Chains A and B, each alone.
Chain A
Amino acid sequence: MQPSISAKTISYVFVFVLLCIYLVPILLVFNVSLKSFEDYLNNPFSIASQFNFSNYTEAWKQGNFSDYLLNSLLYTGVTTVVSIILAIFAAFPIARGYIAWGGFFYLLFVMSQFLPNPVVAQYRLMLFLRDNVHSDIGYNSKIGYMLLRTSGAGLVFMMFVGYIKSISRELDEAAGIDGAGYLRFLFQIIMPLIKPIIATGVILTVIGTWNDLVGPIQFLSSPEHFPITAGLKEFRGQYGNNWPLLACAVMIVAAPLVILFLFIQKYIVNGALAGAIKS
């Protein structure tokens, strides 16, 4: 059925208006980031007359963004890799029935989405670890924060179980007959085979960790441990009214994931879709 011309026109107008509501704020922030402070005060939203990139170097230096960026890279890299491996360790034996009580454990892991807010006891746990085990793995430590963010349960786990079930079991038997061990089979056969769903899981985890604002604010108190989200909040506290500098900071924080997004859009879309259908 072909939509009528007028219906198409209305659709384009609707989408165009919505596009403006999404793009204009982002473009305006970019525009402000190029202005000098005086220019911003006089004409806040005129098109920047000259590109004032010195704002960026200043924001970068004043805001310690190189430190925050390194922390974010560390947190995102480690928690993503470990979470994905943990999710495979959990999903494979459950999908195949290689451990007893698989159905029960499946439900237990899926339940992670619906649990009562654990933050009060997490806070106590982190304080306990700091005071009784080591100050480097408890409250206000890099490792402590990564431990809290790392999880093999949840949506990624569910997607993995669904995907692994679609891979033929005969593969396991053939590899077993050839003498492959469990660990070797997981890393050399299964992981390459489930690459598409791993890509999706990686992206979902990266977006979640990189953009986590609440976790650092709750469990990290020294700025030297902050990732860029908390760093941005800190920066805003200091430069509350200097919008050109703040806008640069916003651009600096947003850039890495947006660039990544441009390259791997396909996987993100597939990821959101896969997550939806499987659950």
Chain B
Amino acid sequence: MYPFGRGVTRLWPYLLFALPMAFYLMFLLGPSIFTVIYSFTDVINIPGKAYQFVGLDNYKDIFFAGNSAERIDSIKRTLQFTFIVTIVQNGLALLVAVVINQKLLGDKLYRSVFFLPVVLGVAVVALIWTLMFDPINGPVNKFYSLFNYSDTFFGSFTNSFGYIIFVQIWMYMGHSMLIYLAGLQSVPKDLYEAGYIDGTTRWQSFKKITFPLIAPAFTVNILLSIIGAMQTFDIILATTDGQFNSRTMAYDVYKETFRGSLEMGLPSALSVVQFLFILLFVIVAIQLLRKREVEY
């Protein structure tokens, strides 16, 4: 029961709870719901101007208007980005976590260094890699020239998106790694000893002991990667600014809202489509991951 008095004082928890609730409703949940509503209207970016419902017109415009090819390219790129980032980032992070976890000298140092890019932030990380990828003087091009190859990196129509994916993984690998390390530290050591006595190989002990036992960390990481990657556009904004075939859905939403025409129904519809993709992937991922957890 509520121990802090009766009568009017009973209202304190409600009163204080109303504050975060108000913030949440006004600046997050409300706008989110309104964006969904706007996606069915012809609302334009002039405050106070009346708008009408237009059914699914905005959604049709995404897929069947004159410049739809570009939008569909953005959608494809978003999916590509999400799949590659989720798989490579998690594979690498898990490998690094397992390697570091075998009590290497300086393990704490490695942990900090790999997490450092998250602390540096996207504005700094983007500039660091723009310097590395400088097409004229850059060290990576110097390295490439050993193999008689050169690139224009973020200025390349064919390759810029690949480099963006690389930078994204470079930046967030350490974060996934930390979560895997947490999972690994919760695995009881005697399980490995038992396995060792039974003569398991290292791969077997990873597959049969480690992997099943860090299933929760795996699930969390996969979901975080999917949701994060689907919504990422800050790294694109800071490197190519959407040029050179590097736009994704999230970037399109930003571009159409803040730098495009006055129309706001279309970016709203794009936000909703993006959300539906996230929902679909999260549901599929949860189903797959749960199946795996049951097997063991």
A residues lining the B interface (CB < 8 Å): 1, 3, 7-8, 11-12, 14-15, 18-19, 21-23, 25-26, 28-29, 32, 40-41, 44-45, 86-87, 89-90, 92-94, 98-99, 105, 108-109, 111-125, 127-128, 131-132, 147-148, 150-153, 157, 172-173, 175-177, 180-183, 185-186, 207, 210-211, 213-214, 217-218, 228-230, 232-233, 236, 243, 246-247, 249-250, 253-254, 257-258, 261, 265, 268-269, 272-273, 276-277, 279
Cross-chain contact A14 with B99 (CB below 8 angstroms): yes
Residues in A neighbouring B195, C-beta threshold 8 A: 1
- In the complex, how many angstroms separate the beta carbon of A94 from the nearest chain B beta carbon? 8
- In the complex, how many angstroms separate the beta carbon of A213 from the nearest chain B beta carbon? 5
- B38 part of interface (Cβ distance < 8 Å): yes
B94-132 interface bits toward A, Cβ cutoff 8 Å, 1 = contact, 0 = none: 001001101010001011111111111111100111011
| Bound form: Cα–Cα A151–B32 in Å | 14
Residues in B neighbouring A230, C-beta threshold 8 A: 123
28 A-B residue contacts at CB 8 Å?
A1-B205, A15-B104, A19-B113, A28-B139, A86-B20, A90-B21, A93-B17, A108-B24, A112-B24, A116-B32, A116-B36, A117-B231, A117-B271, A151-B20, A151-B23, A151-B27, A176-B4, A181-B5, A207-B119, A211-B123, A213-B238, A228-B123, A229-B123, A236-B127, A246-B127, A250-B127, A276-B221, A279-B220
- In the complex, how many angstroms separate the beta carbon of B166 from the nearest chain A beta carbon? 10
- B286 part of interface (Cβ distance < 8 Å): no
Residues in A neighbouring B258, C-beta threshold 8 A: 123, 218
Instruction: Tell me whether A258 and B35 are in contact in the complex, defined as CB-CB below 8 angstroms, given that A14-B99, A112-B24, A152-B23 are known contacts.
Output: no
- In the complex, how many angstroms separate the beta carbon of B35 from the nearest chain A beta carbon? 5
Closest to A138 in B: B47
Residues in B neighbouring A93, C-beta threshold 8 A: 13-14, 16-17
Interface of A is mostly: helix
Instruction: Tell me whether A32 and B131 are in contact in the complex, defined as CB-CB below 8 angstroms, given that A11-B99, A19-B110 are known contacts.
Output: yes
- In the complex, how many angstroms separate the beta carbon of B71 from the nearest chain A beta carbon? 15
* Candidates A14, A98, A236; contact of B2 at CB < 8 Å: A98
| Bound form: Cα–Cα A218–B251 in Å | 12
Instruction: Tell me whether A261 and B23 are in contact in the complex, defined as CB-CB below 8 angstroms, given that A116-B272, A172-B3, A183-B16 are known contacts.
Output: no
| Bound form: Cα–Cα A246–B139 in Å | 17
Interface of B is mostly: helix
| Bound form: Cα–Cα A81–B45 in Å | 33
